[in-house]
Structure 1
Amino acid sequence: MEYSEKVIEHFMCPQNCGRIANPDVSYAYGDPGCGDAVIFFMKVQDNIIEDISYLIYGCSAAVASASMASVLVKGRTLADAINITEKEIEDALGGLPESKKHCSNLGAGAIKGLIKKFYSI
């Protein structure tokens, strides 16, 4: 199994990892099939994602996918960010091995759930 340089970069030095202080919303999401789990935290200002972070338990591809998802949506409007796709994350990472493509769903699914939860508060 071979990973792209971007996947390795985001696994070795994940962006936005940790918990931001006083988030407006948090959301837990997981894949029971492989055991990966993530909790995203978000601050919103004027419908723009001002800050986002996460805590994750998972393989290298899951860590890289959560990291890239956070990078891709930070600074975007909620309306734009909710449309993030697995393919967008995968492409930004320079691809994922076939057996790890499901990991991009972790980031995309969590972001969508996070924003839906924010709207329901």
Structure 2
Amino acid sequence: MYTEKVMDHFSNPRNVGEIENADGAGQVGNPSCGDIMKITLKVEDNIIKDIKFKTFGCGAAVATSSMVTEMAMGKTIEEALQITNKSVAEALEGLPPAKMHCSNLAADALKAAIEDYLKKQNA
């Protein structure tokens, strides 16, 4: 059902936690399945220097959260905004069709955190 990569990110999630005094924070949820993801990030010179997640949800939700933080770390804001729902699922070598909505949450949470960061920069 799940790929080895999904199981690895679920069993050994990367970047778990929450950054205090984060430069940006985003939280999204899916009422139909109950998954909730929060991503916080630190940005220096337009580059994501640190990123953490907290996820309440199924194994696929944890795995996609972990993967999206790995994909975004070290990227510029513009590069991180290019991370899509599809690219998260592809990086995990696929998700079962019933779990595809979980990858949508990971990319959405990342975008919400970046939008929060950008809004704070323009304030």
TM-score by length of 2: 0.94
**What is the correspondence of 1:1-121 to structure 2 with a 5 Å cutoff?**
2-121=1-120
- More helix per residue: 2
For residues 26-82 of structure 1, give each alpha carbon's deviation from its aligned partner in whole angstroms, at most 9, with x where no partner exists: 111111111100111100000000000011100000000000000000000001101
Say which is worse superposed, 92-101 or 17-26, in terms of deviation.
17-26
RMSD: 0.8
TM-score, normalised via structure 1 length: 0.96
Deviation for aligned residue 1:21: 3.3
Opposite residue 51 of structure 1, the aligned amino acid is D
Q: How many residues align?
A: 120
* 4+ long deviations beyond 4 Å: none
CA offsets 1:4-38 (integer angstroms, 9 cap, x no match): 00000000000001122332121111111111001
Cα distance, 1:107 vs structure 2: 0.6
